Amino acid sequence: MSAVEAGGEGAGAPSQAIIQVTDLVTHYGDRQILKSVDFSVNRGEIMVVMGGSGSGKSTLLRHLLALEKATSGRIVVDGVDIGSASRKQLTELRKGIGVAFQGGALLSSMSVADNVKLPLRQHTRLNEDTIDIMARLKLELMNLSGCEDLMPAELSGGMLKRTGLARAVVMDPKLLFFDEPSAGLDPVTSVELDDLILKLREAVNITMVVVTHELESAFKIADRITVLFDGEIAKVGTPEEIRACDDERVQNMINRRPRKDPVDANKYLNRLTAGAR
Amino acid sequence: MKKYGVEFIVGIFVLIGTAALAYLAIDIGGLSGGEDDSYPLVARFDSSSGLKEGAHIEIAGVRVGQVRSIVLDSDSFESVVTMLIDEGIALPEDSMASIRTAGIIGDRFIKVSPGGAEEVLAANDEILETESAISIEELVSKYIFEE
Amino acid sequence: MANDQSLESPGVVVGTVCAIGRSAINAVQQAGRLAMFFVTTLSRLFYWPFPFAEVIKQIHFIGAKSMPVIIMAGLFTGMVVALQFYDALIRFGSVDLLGSVVALALIRELGPVMAALMIIARAGSATCSEIAIMRNEQQFDALDCMAIDVYRYVMLPRLVAAIIAVPLLTAVVDVVGIGGGYIVGVLIQDVSYGAYIGGMVDTVQWNDVRMGLIKSVLFGAVIFCVVLAKGFYLHIEQPVSGAEGVGRATTEAVVLSAILMLFTDYVVSAFLL
């Protein structure tokens, strides 16, 4: 499957890196979001991307998913250069990738079961019975058996997330992205979801990229953590390394200290007017 | 069962809509399925001023057909009008076609006055006796200048 | 980009010129997006298999569920047209023309426009907010990530359903409207039955019906292209996200689709008359 055709120039990284981001710069309108980000994820690990709001972690995720076009830089996912990939290459790549969005992003016109079955129905030629069994299996894994016929509007926030996760893994992807697993959930549900992520890794052994701002869940599930700060990577390392890191920005985040960089009045005004345009 | 319901309702909707469309097109719009039930006749007029394609052909005030085309004969500078007459109406050879107006400002139509000959006109025959459109302006000027 | 500098110290004149320029650029961008959206969606017609089931579902939503309101609209339109024209025609002593006038007005102009307006109000606004909510909840991102073609599975069925349903609804408005005119003209005002129906049949040509048909097909395409695109480009066009963005997008979609519909109406009439 993993034809490492990326070998070409630049990539140079060992083949265990499934995601390789080199010097990624992105803008939103005129505003620079990511400033030269280098980032890599190895096969089989759980990489957690952390950062406060506005740090660019969601933007990084959207670029990894090829939902946005970068200003410059190179993103190689599983041997495919996302910037220059054809639509067909991208389609093939995406069949091997699962994405669990923040709010589940379930199609509101379909039941839970149909949502989970959607990728199978679109991309495989399996018969309806097999599809049904596979969907049930994944829903069971997410503790959602019995919810098959509910509509997304009838589900709670945690159930939506879990259904989204079930849909993301129904094709048995080798790479799974998870956006804010614990945002908007009560602590108990949040812990459940973390356990679910670990259980999933044991069960199917996939590479995961989890974007979150929750410290506890990050330290619990991560093999490695990337800390983003204002569009730059502050630190990459194992949870222990992050805890021990003496970078002030990282320490502030871990100890939940508010950022206290002096606010320049002019800059602040400019930011306000930029938003108004 | 639910799915079946939707399909049924859509079916009803499409049927009603199509029926309405067909009524408009065929009954009111006069879109006939072809020209099988009529035959063409030709007539030449000095002037067919005001006559339009689709205008009525009447005999004794009853509609019996419509004008299919109006073209200019570039040799004689006459207006050549092709009429479609309903099948089953046999016109004697010496019938006369005249362009008339419904009321003072109404539509122009062709009035056919059947003659008394034994022979009848066949498809694509020509009605030889014609009477052109009467122009009110011409009548008025004639009246004024002949005084 | 260039006008950013001038924004730092906008004089009144420069500021106004910049504002005009900005809105012109926006308008052109939006027109371009709409055109691209339409072409991209239509290009998915040639992909197989075609999502028939979804089209049926959308015809049910756009067409069948609009029937009650369409019938009411058609009935009252026909009745009021007959009433107004009766009052006008009686001054010239030509009430016999009532059937012709009502039928022509309905078939060529009022039927398509009334049907289109009702569809914008009922199905268009609902479709726009549905699509906008899908955008808001990242459903399109999710579909992209699942390598499922959004244009093919979400947009095309709705557009095709509209192009099928709108002409049918228009025909229903026409026929019901003619019936409404009959109620007012013949039953209430005592115009003769023969003059009403006969005059109508004599006057209305296939060309008139064809004109109404062409209009309604185009209206269906224009309206749904606008409401779908307005919802789809929520994140680009709206300054605010969330429920407020959805509301704004829907309002804009209703206004824009109505205006574009009337503009199309004029263009088609000018070409076909």
> Which CATH number do you get for residue A223?
3.40.50.300
Q: How many folded domains does chain A comprise?
A: 1
Which chains border A (3 or more CB–CB pairs < 8 Å)?
A: C
Burial A137-166 (b: 16+ CB within 10 A, else e): ebbebbebeebbeeebeebeebbbbbbbbb
Residues of chain A contacting C7 with CB distance shorter than 8 Å: 277
What count of CB pairs under 8 Å joins B to C? 78
Count how many Cα atoms sit within 13 Å of the Cα of residue C53 in the half-sphere of its side chain.
Answer: 4
Closest CA to C168 of B13, A81, A123, B94: B13
Give the pLDDT score at B2. 54
DSSP C70-123: HHHHHHHHHHHHHHHHHHHHTTTT-GGGHHHHHHHIIIIIIHHHHHHHHHIIII
Task: Name which residue leads in pLDDT, B114 or C241.
Answer: B114
Find the mean pLDDT for residues B123-147.
Answer: 81
Domain regions of chain B by residue span: 1-31, 38-134
* Closest residue on chain C to A277 (Cα): C239
The answer to whether residue A156 scores a pLDDT higher than 50 is yes
In a 13 Å sphere around the CA of C93, the CA atoms on its Cβ side amount to 1
Return mean pLDDT, chain B: 83
For residue C267, the model assigns a pLDDT of 95
Interface check C102 vs B, CB under 8 A: no
List phi, psi (to 5°) of C179: -65, -45
Query: Directed axis angle between helix A112-123 and helix A128-141, to 10°?
Result: 130
Which pLDDT value is given to residue A34? 86
Q: Which domain holds residue A197?
A: 13-96+173-256
Q: Is C52 on the interface with B (CB under 8 A)?
A: no
- Token digits for A150? 């509910």
Nearest 10 degrees: Cα torsion A186, A191, A194, A196: -100
% of chain B beyond a pLDDT of 70 = 89
Q: Are A227 and A253 in contact (CB under 8 A)?
A: yes
CB contact under 8 A, C142 and A164: yes
B partners (3+ CB pairs within 8 A) are C
Residues A30, C145: C-beta atoms closer than 8 Å? no
Q: What is the pLDDT of residue A13?
A: 44
Lowest mean pLDDT segment, chosen from A88-92, A150-154, A195-199, B10-14 = A195-199
ipTM: 0.81
Q: Do B28 and C171 touch (CB under 8 A)?
A: no
∠ CA A249-A251-A257 to the nearest 5 degrees?
85
Residue C244 burial class via C-beta count within 10 angstroms: exposed 0-12, middle 13-18, buried 19 and up: exposed
Q: Strand pairing partners for B129?
A: B96
Q: In terms of DSSP bridges, do strands B38-45 and B126-127 run parallel, antiparallel, or are they unpaired?
A: parallel
Is the minimum CB–CB distance between C25 and chain A shorter than 8 Å? no
The 10s digit of each residue's pLDDT in B23-79 is 888 887 766 544 567 888 999 988 888 888 778 888 988 888 888 889 998 888 889
Q: What's the confidence (pLDDT) of residue A10? A: 40
**Pick among C55, C108, C204 to test the B interface (most B CBs inside 10 A):** C204
**Nearest-CA distance from A129 to chain C in Å?**
20
Burial letters C157-177, b for 16+ CB under 10 A, else e: bbbbbbbbbbbbbbbbbbbbb
Q: Please give the pLDDT value at position A109.
A: 87
Among A274, A276, A273, A231, CA closest to A70: A231
Q: What is the pLDDT of residue B13?
A: 92
Q: What does the pLDDT read at residue A197?
A: 85
Higher pLDDT, C120 or A201: C120
Q: Comparing A19-23, A50-54, A177-181, C245-249, which segment has the lowest mean pLDDT?
A: A50-54
In a domain, A238, yes or no: yes
C178 contacts: CB under 8 Å, gap ≥ 6:
B28, C78, C102, C103, C106, C200
Q: Residue A209: CB partners within 8 Å, gap ≥ 6?
A: A19, A41, A47, A49, A61, A64, A175, A176, A177, A178
Cα-Cα-Cα-Cα dihedral of A135, A141, A144, A146, to 10°? 60
Collect all residues with Cβ–Cβ distance below 8 Å to C142 and sequence separation of at least 6: A99, A101, A105, A106, A107, A164, A167
CB contact under 8 A, C141 and A122: no
Q: Do B and A have ≥3 inter-chain CB pairs under 8 A?
A: no
- The pLDDT of residue A194 is above 80: yes
**CA-closest candidate to residue C126, choices A66, B123, A109:** A109
Residues of C in contact with A99 (CB under 8 A): 141-142, 145-146
DSSP state of B102: S
- Report pLDDT digits (tens) over C118-128: 999 999 999 99
Tell me if there are at least 3 CB pairs under 8 Å linking chains A and C.
yes
pLDDT for A25-51, tens place per residue? 888 878 888 888 888 899 888 999 988
> What is the pLDDT at residue A270?
76
Q: How many angstroms separate the CA atoms of C63 and B64, rounded?
A: 40
Q: Which residues of chain C have pLDDT under 70?
A: 1-10
What's the whole-number average pLDDT of chain A? Answer: 83
3-state secondary structure of C181: helix
Token pair in block for residue C230: 């307005």
